[in-house]
Structure 1
């Protein structure tokens, strides 16, 4: 999408956490795992994989942690006021964050490059033809 202008701003629901995305994500994933369904309160969660240095955050963030089924560390940063999830990260991979980018002002970048954990997908949701899909987490 050549008409998208960076930086793109984003914020939590209450506005206490704000950020600027300085460059395009390397990949956008739609995750259908049960944990992401809980997180998004929807059929899947959208995540934009971005370089850590391509995002500037303002405001207080708190952290929550869990171990994923894959064994990866899944840490989350969110707003302590409204609870809106801002991003996930694995401390063992400090150069990449998983931005929960649905709170960007321009969401045109959120076209999934792949759908993951389709083994837990809601039966009623149809993945668009031609988009790669993986039963679990791709290697």
Structure 2
């Protein structure tokens, strides 16, 4: 499936061919801190099937897994775009929050659940509003 994405301000955009069966929710503490959320939805794409327009910035961090990972974001608005191996990347791990087709990409698995917030599965009991509060 081809997907399209961009940062919040539009300075960076991309297209990628992905396998929708590989959509994952990650609960690791790195994803929590780097996204500012209790989890992050992601999908992996081969680097040769990822086309980027614009000039993002990268921050290299040793991940919870022990791998050195580049965290790539827009230098203008700060939108997290994707992650990849820090050296010789073979794949990008796209952040679904910046993908136009995100509503069509339900997660197929969850990883790093030992770091998941204990209340994450109790959201059905929390009052919900279609817009604002």
TM-score (norm 1): 0.78
Higher mean C-alpha displacement, 13-22 vs 88-97: 88-97
Aligned mate of 2:8, from 10, 13, 16: 13
> Tell me, which stretches of 5 or more residues in structure 2 are unaligned?
123-133
Separation of aligned partners in 2, 1:17 and 1:23: 19
2:117 is the alignment partner of 1:122: yes
For the 8 Å contact 2:11–2:74, the answer to whether it is kept is: yes
Alpha-carbon distance change, 93 to 48 in structure 1, aligned in 2, over 3 angstroms? farther
Match of 1:83 among 58, 75, 78: 78
- The normalised TM-score by structure 2 is 0.81
Separation of aligned partners in 2, 1:24 and 1:87: 16
CA distance in 1, matches of 2:87, 2:58: 16
Q: 1:48 pairs with 43, 53, 71, which one?
A: 43
Instruction: Indicate yes or no: 2:106 matched with 1:111.
Output: yes
Structure with higher helix content: 2
Aligned length: 122
